[in-house]
Structure 1
Amino acid sequence: MTKQSAGIHHISAMVKDPQRTLDFYGNVLGLRFVKQTVNFDDPGTYHLYFGDEQGSPGTVITFFPIPGIGKGSVGSGQVGVTAYLVPEGSLLFWEKRLNDHGVGTVATERFGEPSLLFEDPDGLVVELVARTSTKQTSWVVPGVTSREAIVGFAGATLLSKDPEATVRLLTGLFGFETVGEDSEWIRLE
Structure 2
Amino acid sequence: MSYQTQLPNLWETERLSIAISTVEEVPVLQAIHDACSYLSKWDGSYIYGDPDYLNTLVTNPPLPPQGGERERFKILTIRERGTSTIIGFFAVYEGEPPPDSLYIFTFFVHPDYQGKGYGRETMGSFLNFARETTFNKLTLCTALKNFPAVRFWTGLGVNKIIKVHGDKVCSENTHAQIDLQMEL
TM superposition score normalised by structure 2: 0.29
Q: Greater helix percent: which structure?
A: 2
Higher relative contact order (CA 8 A, sep 6+): 1
